[in-house]
A = this chain, B = another copy of it.
Amino acid sequence: MPLAMNREVFITCAVTGSGGTQDKSPHVPRSPAQIAESAIAAAKAGASVVHCHVRDPETGAPSRDKGLFREVTDRIRESETDVVLNLTAGMGGDIVYGGVETPLPPVEGTDMIGATERVAHVADCRPEICTLDCGTMNFAEADYVMTNTPGMLQAMGKMMTDLGVKPEIEAFDTGHLWYAKQLVKDGILEPDALVQLCMGVPWGAPDDLNTFMAMVNNIPEDWTFSAFALGRNQMPYVAASVLAGGNVRVGLEDNLMLDKGVLAENWQLVERAVGIVENLGARVIGPEEVRKKLRLTKQAPV
A residues at B contact (CB < 8 Å): 1-5, 95, 97, 99-106, 110, 112-116, 135-138, 141-145, 147-152, 154-156, 172-176, 178-179, 181-182, 200, 202-211, 213-218, 229, 232-233, 235-237, 239-240, 242-244, 259, 272, 275-276, 279-281
Contacts and interface: CB of A to CB of B under 8 A. Distances in A.
B214 A211 contact: yes
Given A218-B206, A276-B279, A142 B150 contact: yes
Given A179-B203, A203-B176, A243 B209 contact: yes
Contact of A144 (B149, B206, B215, B218): B149
A216 B182 CA distance: 25
A97 B97 CA distance: 14
Contacts of A145: 136, 145, 147, 149
20 contacts: A1-B181, A1-B208, A2-B233, A97-B149, A97-B152, A100-B151, A103-B149, A103-B152, A104-B112, A135-B137, A135-B203, A136-B145, A138-B175, A143-B150, A174-B204, A176-B203, A178-B206, A210-B214, A236-B242, A279-B279
A178 B1 contact: yes
Nearest first, the 10 A-B pairs at minimum CB distance are: A142-B151, A101-B114, A239-B239, A214-B214, A100-B155, A1-B208, A175-B204, A179-B203, A175-B203, A100-B115
A174 B211 CA distance: 8
Contact of A207 (B2, B95, B236): B2
Given A103-B114, A137-B136, A232-B281, A2 B206 contact: yes
Copies of this chain in its oligomeric complex: 4
A240 B241 CA distance: 10
Contacts of A136: 136-138, 145
Question: Which of A136, A142, A202 is the most central at the interface, judged by chain B CB atoms within 10 Å of its CB?
Answer: A136
A1 B221 CA distance: 13
A92 to B, nearest CB: 9
A78 B209 CA distance: 42
Contacts of A149: 97, 100, 103, 138, 142-145
Nearest to A118: B100
Given A155-B100, A243-B239, A205 B174 contact: yes
